[in-house]
């Protein structure tokens, strides 16, 4: 038999940490706890990564609604009036039988009015039971009506909650895309927050984050390629092979020597292009090759301004 200490809420599904098994319904959970479903104390169940439903973890609104609805529907069990109708029929048969229960001796010595009074007294003794049964039947019918109304309300609320959940998941996907641009892994608290927001399990959240991270990396690579292409295409008008001895004044004599003789980009060149996110090294190498091949006469600021306009 499970205890509350064994239980954990993982994205709206309750798991037994000792066995690793989940409970598909509140009834299954209640059976393992040895109590009725309406006796479950949900506040004692610890949420995954949190300190219970009253701690830093936000209760899942969909799960809370479903749990409350399940308890409400359970209260309507046994609403059929079949047993009461059978009881009513039995009472009516009994009342009919009472009407004919006059002995031969009573028929000889009693007048018709006296016999009718006896029969009436026997029948009236069953009247309270008959009226009580009729009242119970009416109560059942009223409860059945309320049950159908509850079902209708539940369907409307389920639709509204599903719309909210869809919006929450769309928001979560947008948040994952923004978060993936940072380039580092998500923290356990971030994963847990998205589990509570969307109803997904942690593996699903991580899968969406991995996809968003791959897209972010592809976007960064594409941006690097655009920048490299922009530098090559836009800088060409400034390349002056014949002016290697009269380079821009911002270049030192040492930098001029680097341009003439170094096959790999030196640090000062990498620093000049550090106005944007770090460049992939192979792209930096290609950029350096172009820069060395024709050397630029315009200033770095002028070239960067052209590139910025090109990328808009």
pLDDT of 298 > 50? The answer is: no
As a three-state string, the secondary structure of 252-305 is: CHHHHHHHHHCCCCCHHHHHHCCCCCCCCHHHHHHHHHHHHHHCECCCHHHHHH
Whether pTM exceeds 0.85: no
pLDDT tens by residue, 6-28: 888 876 678 888 887 888 777 78
Average pLDDT over residues 48-75: 53
pLDDT value at residue 111: 58
- Range with lowest mean pLDDT among 35-44, 108-117, 178-187, 261-270: 108-117
Q: Tell me the per-residue pLDDT of 213-235, one tens digit each, with 9 for 90 and over.
A: 888 887 777 777 666 666 555 54
More confident: 146 or 231: 146
CA distances from 218 to 172, 183, 248, 261 (A): 21, 12, 35, 34
Cα–Cα distances in angstroms (integers) from residue 284 to residues 268, 278, 289, in the given order: 12, 9, 9
DSSP string, 50-77: SSSTTTTSPPPHHHHHHHHHHHHHHTTT
């Amino acid at each position: 038999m499970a205890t509350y200490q064994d239980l954990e809420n993982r994205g709206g599904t309750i798991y037994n940490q000792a066995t690793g098994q989940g409970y598909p319904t509140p009834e299954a959970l209640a059976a393992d706890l040895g109590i009725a479903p309406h006796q479950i104390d949900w506040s004692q169940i610890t949420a995954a990564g949190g300190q219970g439903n009253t701690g830093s973890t936000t209760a899942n609104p969909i799960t809370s609604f479903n749990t409350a609805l399940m308890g409400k529907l359970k209260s309507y069990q046994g609403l059929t009036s079949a047993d009461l109708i059978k009881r009513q029929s039995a009472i009516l048969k009994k009342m009919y039988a009472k009407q004919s229960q006059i002995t031969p001796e009573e028929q000889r010595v009693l007048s018709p009015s006296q016999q009718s009074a006896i029969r009436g007294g026997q029948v009236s003794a069953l009247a309270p039971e008959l009226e009580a049964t009729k009242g119970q039947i009416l109560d059942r019918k009223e409860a059945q009506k309320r049950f159908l109304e509850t079902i209708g309300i539940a369907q409307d609320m389920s639709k509204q909650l599903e719309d909210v959940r869809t919006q929450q998941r769309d928001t979560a996907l947008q948040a994952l895309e923004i978060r993936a641009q940072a380039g580092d892994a998500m923290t356990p608290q971030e994963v847990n927050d998205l589990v509570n927001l969307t109803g997904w399990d942690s593996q699903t959240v991580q899968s969406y984050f991995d996809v968003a991270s791959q897209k972010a990396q592809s976007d960064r690579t594409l941006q690097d390629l655009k920048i490299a292409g922009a530098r090559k295409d836009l800088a060409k008008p400034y390349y002056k092979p014949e002016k290697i001895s009269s380079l821009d004044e911002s270049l030192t004599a040492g930098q001029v020597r680097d341009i003439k003789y170094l096959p790999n980009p030196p640090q000062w060149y990498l620093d000049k292009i550090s106005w944007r996110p770090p460049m992939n090294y192979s792209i930096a190498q290609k950029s350096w090759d172009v820069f060395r091949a024709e050397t630029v006469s315009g200033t770095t600021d002028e070239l960067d301004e052209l590139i910025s306009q090109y990328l808009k």
